[in-house]
Amino acid sequence: MKRFILSLFVILLFVGKLAADEGMWLPMLIKERIPDMQKNGFRLTAEDLYSINRASLKDAIVHFGSGCTGELISSKGLIITNHHCGFSQIQSHSSVENDYLRDGFWAMSMSAELPNSGLSVRFLIRMEDVTDKILSSYRSNMTEDERVKLINENSNELLKAATANTHYQARVESLYYGNQYFLFVYETFNDVRLVGAPPSSIGKFGGDTDNWMWPRHTGDFSLFRIYAGKDNKPASYSKDNVPYTPKRFFTISVKGVEEGDFTLVYGYPGRTQKYLHSQAVRYITEKSNPHKINLRTLRLNIQNEEMAKSQEVRIKYASKNASVSNSWKKWQGESKGIERLKTIEEKIKFEKEFNEWAKDKPEYRGVIARLDELYRELEIYAFATDYHNEAISSNEIIRLAGTINTALKRNSKMTPLVSAANIKSILDGFYKDYYLPIDKKSFVAIVDQYSKNIQAEMQPPLFRDMISKRGGVAEIAECLYSSTVLACEDKAYRFIEAGVTEDSFVKDPAFILYNAFNDNFINKIKPRFDEINSEINLLYRTYMRGQMEFNKTGVFYPDANSTLRITYGAVKGYKPNDAVYFKHISTLEGIMEKDNPEIYDYNIPQRLRDIYSKKEFGRWEVNGTVPVCFIATNHTSGGNSGSPVINADGELVGINFDRVWEGTMSDIAYDLQMCRNISLDIRYVLFVIDKVAEASHLIEEMNIAD
């Protein structure tokens, strides 16, 4: 193990073939990259980015909610993230009378800022390489179970020590498939209030039509504020809490960016899979993605049709629709990109070379072949799992039955009445955003696909029986939605009023179906799926080490795993197709070109039209217009939404929010020609706050450098 770590260190020092722009680096190890970064224009030091001895830029960054990034932009705890990251909070404060999604929301004083239950942000306090500690007393003759047990015990010790006498939380994460372990210590704040959001016609301008695309003109930002107790420490919501004073916040630069300028994105990318075997990539791009895309197309068509008919339904399904559509579109770009890059063929070629090299290395010799075998065996289980998630668990009433079921099991010791109170809160959350016709039509469409595409033996026998007795999925849906108590809100509340136990719903068809699918999945699919996957993961530990030994001059970075990372690159246009070149920056002119009151996604607020026709751009004007978004070569992923995009001096110039469609395969294979992250130009943010929202008191809080 020691030897491996040593060689890893040497590898990290060596600047090899990797395109300078690819890579998601651990802040603590950023020293290794500083020479390359400085060569590309960066003017700060490693300590400016990450330090445990003094405030550094990492102290101005938060993991926002569970899947986004946000950053501090004032000494009063003001944070900025994307509109789509705050979307569910904005939605939950919205109603037909107070439609903040449509009209935007601006707190004109702190007392008007809106609390959000369930929303938290966390700061990284420190990180530490704990590989030696985690594997101390590991012996190479241990079984895998013994190794896992040892790791758990050692992690628990470390976590206890890291958080003793503090209010911190800690986690140990594995990197490089269990070849390295890092400890992360966090501080979490739970009182986070909504401060401002532009109307969706700015914050989601272009909607799902422009999503994942360039040229882009989305003002994808929202503002929140962290509140703390009087001691500046985390406290649960109270009206007596005060704005948090951060250790560090970003200075904003309004100088803007030019093509070629250095940029750095600092945030929490969720998941990448660079080191996959060719079979895994084949499964994703040729089988899993096409089927999942098809299932979501069916759902989206149904949602879009119903949402177009009613404002109420549109609000209810806004957030659900955006998230279904988001991966749907990304998967399409990803499969195309992998095909264009010939990633599968490249991997097969690499695997041949690796095998040649490994011929006389018993440790590595059989790894590729065994992975190949296991992936082939995994396929039917992976496919059934994909369908279970996308075609069964995505049915809302079935999922509600599942949530209630789980709660009742957990509540089994409570009195029926206390239990009913818990179920009531589940129902409240559910019906707030539920529209039965969408759910029912989706059920018919996607469960039908399940019944056709999954081998009959892998489906629940009860479901097969129902199909043959009733004739088809449409008939099952007819029966389900007319007789489950959950289909009618009033009935459901009345039903639980007198108290509920685990037995209350045994005869209800939604519960019967949920249980049939769930038991089938748990008993017939999951065990083998997990078993094969755990063998695969174990092999990756060896394969990963092998890839590093094989390519001694290569530069490696650990796949993203929702831990804080730095990625750097340059502002740059790209060539998506023959005869087309996309420039690096978009402007307000493009918004006006797209503006169309007839098309929901492109119907901008009248106020923006007025400002434009009078050219009232104020200090945000550049060459007669206002910059809106820009693209760069930074290697980002889902989770990087809301991440600060900083210039060579560490000033905030943009907010990351997307990638270009032609480059969405970068989670698996990065390509300098096509992969671009999309950022919102900070000057557009300031323009919207100042001129559209007239909330200049917020700008006064910020530190703006010219």
Q: d(Cα 693, Cα 605) in Å, to the nearest integer?
A: 11
What is each CA distance from 170 to 69, 183, 352, 611, in whole angstroms?
18, 7, 41, 49
Query: Of these residues, 220, 559, 658, 681, which one is catalytic?
Result: 220
Establish if 396 lies at the interface with ligand GLU (CB under 6 A). no
Q: Inter-axis angle of helices 473-483 and 509-520, to 10 degrees?
A: 130
Establish if 200 lies at the interface with ligand ARG (CB under 6 A). no
* Selected range binding ligand ARG among 109-117, 202-210, 484-492, 605-613, rule: CB under 6 A: 202-210
Establish if 212 lies at the interface with ligand ARG (CB under 6 A). yes
Establish if 576 lies at the interface with ligand ARG (CB under 6 A). no
Structure tokens at 616: 């009232």
Establish if 659 lies at the interface with ligand GLU (CB under 6 A). yes
Element housing 612 (H / E): helix 606-614
* Selected range binding ligand GLU among 146-154, 184-192, 290-298, 652-660, rule: CB under 6 A: 652-660
Closer to ligand ARG at the Cβ: 328 or 517?
328
* Selected range binding ligand GLU among 97-105, 362-370, 378-386, 630-638, rule: CB under 6 A: 630-638
Closer to ligand ARG at the Cβ: 211 or 547?
211
Amino acid in position 409: K
Query: Of these residues, 84, 217, 388, 584, which one is catalytic?
Result: 84
Closer to ligand GLU at the Cβ: 659 or 683?
659
325 is catalytic: no
Establish if 199 lies at the interface with ligand GLU (CB under 6 A). no
Sequence-ordered list of residues with C-beta below 8 angstroms from that of 136, at least 6 positions apart, any chain? 154
Q: How far is the CB of 12 from ligand GLU (least distance, A)?
A: 25
Q: How far is the CB of 56 from ligand GLU (least distance, A)?
A: 23
Across 139-229, the runs of DSSP E, i.e. the strands, are 169-175, 180-189, 191-197, 222-228
| 537 close to 480: Cβ distance less than 8 angstroms | no
Establish if 366 lies at the interface with ligand ARG (CB under 6 A). no
Full DSSP string of 417-464: HHHHHHHHHHHHHHHHT--HHHHHHHHHHHHHHHHHHS-GGGS-HHHH
Among ligand GLU, ligand ARG, none, partner that 637 touches (CB below 5 to 8 angstroms by kind) = ligand GLU
Q: Using CB under 6 A, pick the residue from 178, 198, 333, 638 that binds ligand GLU.
A: 638
β-pairing verdict for 68-72 and 114-115: unpaired
Query: Of these residues, 319, 335, 394, 641, which one is catalytic?
Result: 641
- DSSP class of residue 558 equals P
Q: Using CB under 6 A, pick the residue from 640, 647, 650, 668 that binds ligand GLU.
A: 640
Establish if 639 lies at the interface with ligand GLU (CB under 6 A). yes
What is each CA distance from 272 to 425, 532, 535, in whole angstroms?
36, 21, 20
Q: Inter-axis angle of helices 526-550 and 367-387, to 10 degrees?
A: 140
Q: d(Cα 681, Cα 645) in Å, to the nearest integer?
A: 9
Residues 579-638 interacting with ligand ARG (rule: CB under 6 A) = 638
Establish if 33 lies at the interface with ligand GLU (CB under 6 A). no
220 is catalytic: yes
Establish if 637 lies at the interface with ligand GLU (CB under 6 A). yes
Sequence-ordered list of residues with C-beta below 8 angstroms from that of 450, at least 6 positions apart, any chain? 387, 391, 392, 459
84 is catalytic: yes
Q: Using CB under 6 A, pick the residue from 101, 162, 302, 322 that binds ligand ARG.
A: 322
Count of residues binding ligand ARG (CB under 6 A)? 12
Q: d(Cα 437, Cα 241) in Å, to the nearest integer?
A: 43
Nearest to 389 by CA among 380, 399, 397: 399
Phi-psi region of 642 (alpha: psi -120 to 50; beta: other; left: phi over 0): left
Establish if 59 lies at the interface with ligand GLU (CB under 6 A). no
Closer to ligand GLU at the Cβ: 334 or 651?
334
Nearest to 181 by CA among 558, 667, 639, 566: 558
Establish if 641 lies at the interface with ligand ARG (CB under 6 A). yes
Per-residue interface string for the shown chain with ligand ARG, residues 430-449, x marking contact by CB under 6 A: --------------------
What percent of the residues of the chain are helix, what percent strand, and what percent coil, each to the nearest 5?
Answer: 50, 15, 35
Residues 64-83 interacting with ligand GLU (rule: CB under 6 A) = 68
Establish if 88 lies at the interface with ligand GLU (CB under 6 A). no
Q: How far is the CB of 638 from ligand GLU (least distance, A)?
A: 4
Residues paired with 33 in a beta bridge: none
Closer to ligand GLU at the Cβ: 275 or 657?
657
Establish if 657 lies at the interface with ligand GLU (CB under 6 A). yes
User: Cβ–Cβ contacts within 10 Å for residue 230, how many?
Assistant: 9
Amino acid in position 598: E
Q: Using CB under 6 A, pick the residue from 33, 84, 193, 594 that binds ligand ARG.
A: 84
Sequence-ordered list of residues with C-beta below 8 angstroms from that of 400, at least 6 positions apart, any chain? 426, 430, 486, 510
Nearest residue to the partner ligand GLU, using Cβ: 641
Nearest to 558 by CA among 176, 121, 138, 49: 176
Closer to ligand GLU at the Cβ: 82 or 587?
82
* Selected range binding ligand GLU among 439-447, 584-592, 657-665, 696-704, rule: CB under 6 A: 657-665
| 27 close to 566: Cβ distance less than 8 angstroms | yes
Among ligand GLU, ligand ARG, none, partner that 639 touches (CB below 5 to 8 angstroms by kind) = ligand GLU
Establish if 325 lies at the interface with ligand ARG (CB under 6 A). yes
Among ligand ARG, ligand GLU, none, partner that 573 touches (CB below 5 to 8 angstroms by kind) = none
Phi-psi region of 587 (alpha: psi -120 to 50; beta: other; left: phi over 0): beta
Establish if 67 lies at the interface with ligand ARG (CB under 6 A). no
Closer to ligand GLU at the Cβ: 386 or 658?
658
Among ligand ARG, ligand GLU, none, partner that 251 touches (CB below 5 to 8 angstroms by kind) = none
Task: Calculate the CA dihedral of residues 587, 590, 591, 592 and round it to 10 degrees.
Answer: 120
Closer to ligand ARG at the Cβ: 69 or 279?
69
Phi-psi region of 419 (alpha: psi -120 to 50; beta: other; left: phi over 0): alpha
* Selected range binding ligand GLU among 157-165, 174-182, 501-509, 635-643, rule: CB under 6 A: 635-643
Q: How far is the CB of 449 from ligand ARG (least distance, A)?
A: 23
What is the 3 state secondary structure string of 463-502? HHHHHHHHCCHHHHHHHHHHHCHHHCHHHHHHHHHCCCCC
Q: Using CB under 6 A, pick the residue from 174, 303, 484, 641 that binds ligand GLU.
A: 641
Q: Using CB under 6 A, pick the residue from 191, 306, 658, 662 that binds ligand ARG.
A: 658
Binding site for ligand GLU (CB under 6 A): 68, 636-641, 657-659
Residue positions annotated with a catalytic role: 84, 220, 641
Binding site for ligand ARG (CB under 6 A): 84, 204, 207-208, 211-212, 322, 325-326, 638, 641, 658
